[in-house]
Structure 1
Amino acid sequence: MTYEHFVSAQSVFLWATFAIALVMGAVVNKTNFCTMGAVSDWINMGDTGRLRAWILAIAVGVLGVTALQAAGLVNLNGTFPPYRQNNLVWLENVLGGALFGIGMTLASGCGNKTLIRIGGGNLKSVMVLGVIGLIAYFMINPFPGSDKTLYSTLFYPWTNPTAVALTTNQDLGAMLFGDKVATGRIVMGAVIGVLLLIWAFKSPDFRGSFDNILGGLVVGLAVLAAWYVTSNIRISADGDILSLQAYVQDWDLYAPADTLRPAAAGPLAPQSFTFINPMGQTLGYVASGFNRTLLTFGIMALAGVLAGSLLWSLISRSFRIEWFASVRDFFNHLVGAILMGFGGVLAMGCTIGQGITGFSTLALGSIFTFIAIVLGSAITMKVQYAMMMRAA
């Protein structure tokens, strides 16, 4: 997809994102696809239906990315965020994932579920969105009048020294196959994707659940669609064919004087769905008075999921206003939102951003984060159950 003008290319980039997210939001609401619910059903009831839906989404993502890479339709070595970077921040992946897993359990859902619940009329999730957005924003952006962020103050001094500098990218294909990276990515993607797919469909109950299969398929395909769209929008400028990111990086060389320059080039790189950093981006966008230069993939994805959920809630007549049941309920959601804000940025993603999008690249850090999120959530549920039994 090559365009003559930056404005046209950027509009397609943003509105295609919104459209894909709209479909995903509606289907997630309809099917009750929920990563926190997946862990809860498994831990508390032994029901793996929604967990298999999550695994199906991952399998679709892994197999799809493997096919797109092999066909030369995506290049995931320079994504936003940089999932395959050769700097393995394993402690941040694990700690951030655990914090996020605890937080999503306390706040009744992950970042994506928060948006789905808002679309369904849940006012508790509006507070969760605001708190996550505030924490996420200042984890990345400095405080007013300072060059310090929450990340640089609270985490960087002791987490960064533990990072491992790899000699290759951190995806499994590159790490295990040496110079034969392309072959390694095909082999690892095919093997892991097929194994995940087999496990997902191994259960007769899952095979008979239309909603679980639909939810997993659509979420996985939405992640793939976003990878494809953001990797294939180009601009023809002075005889050169450039990506949106490259065009903005060389803005003064190519752009007409009357064209509005985006605030940053990074958010125009190839990417797919994640929801914690975009909540911070959305807060900054609203606080700026809706400055168009701050409009990003993440903001459009957030808006699309919310709109899709609202649309399905209205169509199905399931829209219901919901508020906190008690002061304890309020504080659980507040603490959960704070932990998700810290954890989601520290781990560089959430149950969707690392658990599906990042996992689709087979980045080791994404796999660490996925495991840490599940363990953090599962342990929190066990603790909650033990406390409830003691109170009874």
Structure 2
Amino acid sequence: MANFLSESSSLDRAAPSPTTNLLQRSIGILSLAALLAGAYGLHTTPGHGAAASLALLLGGALGIAFECGRFCFFCIFRDLIERRQAGPLYAILTALAISGIGYAIVFGAFLPNPASGRLAPDAHIGPVSPALALAGLVFGLGMALSGACISGHLYRLGEGSGYALPALVGSLLGFGLGLRTWNWLYVTLITDAPVIWLPNLIGYGGSLIVHLLVLGIIALGLLRWLAPLAEQPACTVTPAYLRTVLLERRWNPLVTGAIVGIISVVAYLRIEPLGVTSQLGSLSRTVLHNYSLLPDRLNGLDSFAGCATQVVQTITTNGWLIGGLVTGSFGAALLAGRFRPSIPRRSGSLAALTGGILMGWGAIIALGCTVGTLLSGIGAFALSGWVFGITVFAGVWIGIALRLYRWL
């Protein structure tokens, strides 16, 4: 039985190859070199600067971590629900723990006195409303139907997944649907909803203690679903062994989670909170705006932080992060021999498209997805992050019980 450090997701499309094709490895190295060169070029190009350059690099690191660690929220949740394998979930718990510690330090510099009632600037802190719970439930159902979350489809796009593209196209359509229904939901369910940020109530120290305590209780509760550690035989460290450990084997969930958590903190400190829907949502908003398909005013939407959308005519910082994520995943998949282009079935494409629409709608209403509202929100001590995370998990559970993924 595989142990906690090497469990593979039930949705991994192909087992890592023991050797990788020379051509694939060469292209993988070139793609990662191109990412570095692109970041240097952005840094020296007027109008882009250090923020875009750093976003591209952080996106690349995130793509590598997601691909090598199989950091897909749906895969992790499905392993827990269907197979009672809790190991992969520790990647999320570790990322939340690391980001919570880092956020507490950064918040202290940005806003020394949280008791003033102000919110940390630009952090994923949203209103807690029935609309948020509904958005999380719908988002979770979309994950189960499409086979991954939005960030999961982005890194699988780098692996050549045939279902990633229809799911992402569906997300763009869902963003538009969310924007079209926003005003009614805002007036009906969101306008009077409280925005609850724990540091306003119990300070940074108290918030961090509660944060780590809750994560610790969850981690302890899941210990019974951890497979026993397998004895590792002694071996000689060679280049082939390092390639196998670093690229071909699934990364230790604790390592993957720590890397994701550190990236989340650095992103907030130097650029903006980590998220993967702002540029995509802005693309949908821009198209609808240009064709006069949106109301003249989206009530309250632009007043909230998170994965905010806007009418844009260029690539935003978030767009560079997404580009880096896909490129990093592409390079890692090629180096590990996991780049396997696939042609999707018609029924699977329709399921992925429909699931993407559900996720896009949920992401607009929740002001972000599993990376933004869940990961960055919980890390920022926002109650909205926990509400979204719990309802997303419930949506995935329902979707798995209904076997929605059978269409893939």
Q: How does 1:158-197 map to 2 (within 5 A)?
A: 158-160=188-190, 163-165=192-194, 170-174=196-200, 176-177=201-202, 184-193=203-212, 195-197=214-216
* CA distances 1:253-280 after superposition (whole Å, capped 9, x unpaired): xxxxxxxxxxxxxxxxxx2222233322
Distance in 1 (alpha carbons) for counterparts of 2:228 and 2:373: 24
Secondary structure of residue in 2 paired with 1:321: coil
Decide whether the 8 Å contact of 1:27 with 1:218 is kept in 2: yes
Structure 2 residue aligned with 1:156: 186
Identify the match of residue 125 of structure 1 among 152, 158, 164: 164
Decide whether the 8 Å contact of 1:122 with 1:320 is kept in 2: yes
Decide whether the 8 Å contact of 2:88 with 2:253 is kept in 1: yes
Structure 1 residue aligned with 2:278: 277
Structure 1 residue aligned with 2:318: 298
Q: How does 1:24-103 map to 2 (within 5 A)?
A: 24-72=62-110, 77=119, 79-80=121-122, 83-84=124-125, 88-103=127-142
Q: How does 1:308-323 map to 2 (within 5 A)?
A: 308-323=328-343
Secondary structure of residue in 1 paired with 2:370: coil
Distance in 2 (alpha carbons) for counterparts of 1:45 and 1:364: 29
Q: Percent identity?
A: 21
TM value normalised by structure 2? 0.69
Structure 2 residue aligned with 1:244: none
Distance in 2 (alpha carbons) for counterparts of 1:206 and 1:306: 34
The runs of 4+ residues in structure 1 deviating greater than 6 Å are 73-76, 206-209, 284-288
Distance in 1 (alpha carbons) for counterparts of 2:251 and 2:67: 14
Distance in 2 (alpha carbons) for counterparts of 1:194 and 1:207: 25
* CA distances 1:222-281 after superposition (whole Å, capped 9, x unpaired): 111101112xxxxxxxxxxxxxxxxxxxxxxxxxxxxxxxxxxxxxxxx22222333223
* CA distances 1:146-188 after superposition (whole Å, capped 9, x unpaired): xxx34235x3343235x324xxx521121x33xxxxxx12221
Equivalent residue letter for 2:332 = W
Unaligned runs of 5+ in 1: 1-6, 141-148, 178-183, 231-270
Cα separation, partners in 2 of 1:157 and 1:188, compared to 1, 3 Å: closer
* CA distances 1:282-338 after superposition (whole Å, capped 9, x unpaired): 5578999xx98532222112111111100101111211111223x332222121111
Cα separation, partners in 2 of 1:9 and 1:37, compared to 1, 3 Å: same
Decide whether the 8 Å contact of 2:63 with 2:155 is kept in 1: yes
Equivalent residue letter for 2:106 = L
Distance in 2 (alpha carbons) for counterparts of 1:337 and 1:210: 27
Decide whether the 8 Å contact of 1:56 with 1:200 is kept in 2: no
Distance in 1 (alpha carbons) for counterparts of 2:284 and 2:209: 39
Identify the match of residue 109 of structure 1 among 126, 144, 148: 148
Aligned-residue offset at 1:72:
4.4
TM value normalised by structure 1? 0.72
Distance in 2 (alpha carbons) for counterparts of 1:41 and 1:331: 24
Decide whether the 8 Å contact of 1:107 with 1:333 is kept in 2: yes
The Cα RMSD (Å) is 3.2
Identify the match of residue 269 of structure 2 among 228, 238, 242: 228
Cα separation, partners in 2 of 1:277 and 1:134, compared to 1, 3 Å: farther
Distance in 2 (alpha carbons) for counterparts of 1:22 and 1:283: 24
Unaligned runs of 5+ in 2: 1-44, 231-249, 291-310
Decide whether the 8 Å contact of 2:63 with 2:328 is kept in 1: yes
Structure 1 residue aligned with 2:58: 20
Higher mean displacement: 100-109 or 205-214? 205-214
Structure 1 residue aligned with 2:393: 374
Q: Does 1:217 align with 2:236?
A: no
Equivalent residue letter for 1:12 = A
Distance in 2 (alpha carbons) for counterparts of 1:371 and 1:324: 31
Structure 1 residue aligned with 2:365: 346
Distance in 2 (alpha carbons) for counterparts of 1:121 and 1:79: 37
Structure 1 residue aligned with 2:174: 135
Secondary structure of residue in 2 paired with 1:77: coil
Decide whether the 8 Å contact of 1:73 with 1:228 is kept in 2: no
Cα separation, partners in 2 of 1:210 and 1:198, compared to 1, 3 Å: farther
Distance in 1 (alpha carbons) for counterparts of 2:135 and 2:168: 18
Distance in 1 (alpha carbons) for counterparts of 2:251 and 2:353: 34
Q: What is the count of residue pairs matched by the alignment? A: 317
Cα separation, partners in 2 of 1:192 and 1:131, compared to 1, 3 Å: same
